[in-house]
Amino acid sequence: MNYIVFKLLGLNFVIEAIVMPAVRFIFRFRKMGIFFSYFPALNRIVQDIKWRDLKTFKKLDCIAEREKFKETVKEAVKSSLAAINKANIKRDKVIIRTNRFVHSIMEELRQEGVLEFEKVRKYKTKRQVSEKLQLVSTAKVYKYLLNKKFWQWILRKEEICVYEIHLPPIEVETSC
């Protein structure tokens, strides 16, 4: 909920453009497409969008252009999930904790034969306020400040589950 205050005060820039790049550098995060990064210390895939990539989402109106916004997010998530297999992670599986929206995209990729995963456990139900607000511009937050539909979307509780994504073995080049 603190992120709402940061967003309304325009301080989200400090988090998104200054703090997060420093965290990425210190902990050696590796980008996996637009939407995710690999955190090697915990062997986890985490939602992590760079400041320059956020511009794509912030240009869209999350309420008036709901379907276009949703489709843009879906395509970014899909390409980012597909990039996980090509990332040369030296493990046979990696953990991702995500909501049903991303899970539905993971299922599509499973059916296409791009991604293999299994549910490890149901984590909990929680609100993903900062994750959603990160995709919305500050101007849109002020525009929809009194809009019930906007706040229902932002404050809606999401079922979060933990999955193990099975990675293909890394091909090692051998010299004869």
Domain annotation covers residue 122: yes
Domain annotation covers residue 132: yes
Residue 21 reports pLDDT greater than 80: yes
Question: Could you please report the per-residue DSSP string of 55-94?
Answer: HHHHTS-TTTTHHHHHHHHHHHHHHHHHHHHTS--SSSEE
pLDDT confidence bin for 171, thresholds 50/70/90: low
Domain annotation covers residue 4: no
pLDDT confidence bin for 4, thresholds 50/70/90: confident
Domain annotation covers residue 48: yes
Domain annotation covers residue 16: no
Domain annotation covers residue 53: yes
Domain annotation covers residue 141: yes
Looking at the structure of the chain, the number of domains it has is 1
Domain region containing 110 = 28-166
pLDDT digits (tens, 9 = 90+) for 52-110: 888 889 999 999 999 999 999 999 999 999 888 888 888 999 999 999 999 999 999 99
Whether 51 contacts 15, CB under 8 Å: no
In one letter, which amino acid is 156? R
